[in-house]
């Protein structure tokens, strides 16, 4: 076997295995830890028609106050605008 072919095959194998390990680590370790606060029961979300998304300052608004006007607060402590777009908005779109 040619040395270039062997190096290419080993690099490709390394890349594929790294991708598989990282994907599994994300779905089984990182995602439950990082996003468990974002997940609300889908049945509860389907009953609501209005959602409030905001940064960490919107997290202080009590859900009990918003329940009177049928709004779900999607803001959590220490959130950034990136969290809103990557977490909440994608979750609502998929819902």
Which residues span the domain enclosing 47? 38-95
Integer Rg of the chain from CA: 21
Please report the pLDDT score of residue 19 as a whole number: 96
| Higher-scoring residue by pLDDT: 18, 25 | 18
Please report the pLDDT score of residue 52 as a whole number: 75
pTM for the model stands at 0.43
Q: Give me the number of domains the chain comprises.
A: 2
Q: What percent of the chain has pLDDT over 90?
A: 20
Residue 57, pLDDT > 90, answer: no
The answer on 51 and 11 residing in a single domain is: no
A 10 A CB-CB count for 33 gives 8
The answer on 86 and 52 residing in a single domain is: yes
What is the rounded average pLDDT for all residues in the chain? 77
For residue 61, give the DSSP letter. S
What is the pLDDT averaged over residues 31-60?
A: 68
CB 37 within 8 A of CB 76: yes
The answer on 67 and 51 residing in a single domain is: yes
C-alpha angle 62/41/28, rounded to 5°?
A: 110
The answer on 70 and 58 residing in a single domain is: yes
Residue 67, pLDDT > 60, answer: yes
CB 19 within 8 A of CB 40: no
Residue 13, pLDDT > 80, answer: yes
């Amino acid at each position: 076997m040619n040395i270039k072919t062997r190096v290419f095959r080993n690099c490709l194998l390394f890349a594929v295995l790294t991708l598989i390990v990282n994907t599994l680590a994300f779905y089984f370790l990182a995602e439950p830890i990082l996003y468990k606060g974002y997940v609300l029961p889908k049945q509860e979300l389907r009953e609501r028609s209005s959602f409030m998304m905001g940064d960490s300052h919107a997290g202080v608004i009590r859900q009990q106050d918003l329940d009177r006007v049928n709004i779900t607060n999607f803001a959590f402590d220490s959130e950034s605008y990136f969290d809103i777009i990557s977490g909440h908005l994608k979750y609502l779109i998929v819902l």
